[in-house]
Amino acid sequence: MGEIAMKNIILGCMLVICIVIIFYKTVLQVPDRILLSNGIVPVYKSINHALAANQPPKLAELKANQRVRLLKCVDVKHYYIYKIELDDGTIGFINEGDFTILRGDQATHC
| Statement to judge: residues 73 and 102 lie in one domain | yes
Task: Tell me the CATH number at 85.
Answer: 2.30.30.40
Residue-range definition of the domain harbouring residue 48: 33-108
Report in angstroms the alpha-carbon separations of 77 from 54, 80, 81, 84, 109: 20, 8, 10, 19, 16
Q: What is the pLDDT along the chain (110 residues), one digit of tens a residue?
A: 688 888 889 988 899 998 888 777 666 656 689 999 999 999 999 999 998 877 778 899 999 999 999 999 999 888 899 999 999 999 999 998 999 999 888 898 88
Structural domain count, the chain: 2
| Statement to judge: residues 37 and 69 lie in one domain | yes
| Statement to judge: residues 17 and 71 lie in one domain | no
Residues 6+ apart with CB under 8 A from 96: 41, 42
| Statement to judge: residues 51 and 102 lie in one domain | yes
